[in-house]
Amino acid sequence: QVQLVESGGGLVQPGGSLRLSCAASGLTFRDYAMAWFRQGPGKEREFVTAIRLSGLSGGNTDYADSVKGRFTISRDNAKNTVYLQMNSLKPEDTAVYHCAAGPNGGTRRDNYAYWGQGTQVTVSS
């Protein structure tokens, strides 16, 4: 049974930072692209960032325009874990953040077969 478990959410002031983690089990982690999506209050779930099979820096990652330059996705295949470092947080980043796993990656929700339950991030003063 595949499980994705997110952690690291919380309350942070504008301009602050948080690091989210997603621990995966029940799948061959290195064979899956990993992504983060988020769902704000009253909004649809939207793409944040994704990382393909390789953890190499540069071209194997995608970011939504709204988070480019502020968020960084990374993965540790030895620990079956994907991370989301979030810097310069804004109130509009407030959402439940979900990690997802899929064979091909990309920005579309339906590219991902497995989803975590999510972790709440609240950015407020």
pLDDT tens-digit readout, 45-84: 999 999 987 654 434 889 999 999 999 999 988 999 999 9
User: Buried b vs exposed e over 51-62: b needs ≥16 C-beta within 10 Å?
Assistant: bbbebeeeebbb
Q: Please tell me the predicted confidence (pLDDT) of residue 59.
A: 42
Q: Is the pLDDT of residue 6 over 50?
A: yes
How far apart, in whole angstroms, are the C-alpha atoms of residue 81 and residue 66?
24
Percent with pLDDT over 70 in the chain: 95
Q: Please tell me the predicted confidence (pLDDT) of residue 52.
A: 87
Q: Specify which residues 4 forms β-bridges with.
A: 24
Q: Is the pLDDT of residue 109 over 80?
A: yes
Q: Specify which residues 99 forms β-bridges with.
A: 36
**Average pLDDT of the residues of the chain:** 93
C-alpha distance from residue 20 to each of 36, 91, 93, 99 (Å): 10, 17, 13, 10
Q: Specify which residues 122 forms β-bridges with.
A: 11
